[in-house]
């Protein structure tokens, strides 16, 4: 997408289309971690006001906005960012190591819920003016894709991603200890893998992450498509035709 030939109104529309799903996805993901920790006995995140749907409490200015914007403008081969990590005091959780896995899984689970909510909200498209139906459909599609990416990416067993914490909690103790010690280097490991992806793509002839995410997109859309078609029994709206 090139912004050179777009007017300010069009740019504002694109910001809404992509910005609203992004903020919602990040907010619910982090709030899910915080709520799960609170329910399982750790009030650390709640004491810091993280059990909330207020996005300001979860957004990291550098990781959520500045870095992705720089990567986008520089036409980097990937986009990467993060929200403010939710603090969790493992020693305050009631049942270890099970509760560590539950808290870690709560974020991706919140994104899964948002996927189904997005699919249901899509049925409101016919109630909108015709000019808004296509942008609305695009926003819903992006919401489903974004939350799918967040689920798949965060469940990778690489520190400090959620999948590593689940593996740390449920795997053998030596593996859990290794993951815990590697977590301090986790961000560098993730960035290193992303930087190596273009070279790996040249060797394999395809991008493994792209193939992985595309398969996930196909599976998720197959799951939610019946929910997105509820309004199609009575009408074939422009939004329905464009997206489905």
In degrees and rounded to multiples of 5, residue 50 shows phi and psi of -90, -10
Cis peptide before 16 (omega within 30 of 0): no
Sequence-distant (6+) residues with CB within 8 A of 15 are: none
Sign of the dihedral defined by the CA atoms of residues 176, 179, 184, 187, in that order: negative
Spell out the long-range contacts of 33-37 with Cβ–Cβ below 8 A and sequence spacing 24 or more.
33/86, 33/88, 33/103, 33/104, 33/106, 33/107, 34/86, 35/106, 36/102, 36/103, 36/106, 37/86, 37/88, 37/93, 37/103
**Residue 77's closest CA among 215, 187, 211, 210?**
210
Known catalytic residue at 30: yes
Catalytic residues: 30
């Amino acid at each position: 997408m090139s912004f050179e030939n777009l007017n300010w109104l069009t740019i504002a529309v694109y910001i809404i289309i992509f910005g609203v799903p992004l903020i919602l996805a990040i907010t619910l993901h982090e709030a899910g971690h915080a709520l799960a920790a609170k329910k399982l006995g750790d009030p650390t995140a709640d004491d810091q006001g993280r059990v909330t749907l207020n996005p300001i409490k979860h957004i990291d200015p550098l990781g959520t906005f500045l870095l992705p914007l720089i990567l986008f403008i520089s036409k980097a081969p990937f986009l990467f960012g993060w929200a403010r990590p939710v603090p969790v005091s493992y020693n305050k959780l009631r049942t270890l190591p099970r509760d560590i896995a539950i808290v870690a899984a709560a974020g991706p689970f919140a994104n899964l819920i948002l996927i189904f909510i997005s699919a249901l909200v899509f049925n409101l498209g016919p109630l909108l003016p015709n000019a808004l139906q296509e942008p609305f459909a695009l926003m819903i599609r992006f919401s489903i894709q974004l939350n799918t990416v967040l689920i798949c990416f965060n469940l990778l067993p690489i520190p400090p991603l959620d999948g590593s914490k689940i593996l740390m909690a449920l795997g053998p103790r030596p593996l859990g200890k290794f993951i815990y010690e590697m977590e301090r280097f986790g961000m560098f490991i993730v960035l290193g893998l992303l930087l190596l992806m273009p070279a790996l793509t040249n060797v394999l002839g395809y991008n493994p992450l792209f193939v992985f995410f595309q398969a996930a997109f196909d599976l998720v859309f197959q799951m939610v498509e019946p929910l997105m078609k509820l309004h199609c029994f009575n009408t074939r709206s422009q939004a329905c035709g464009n997206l489905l």
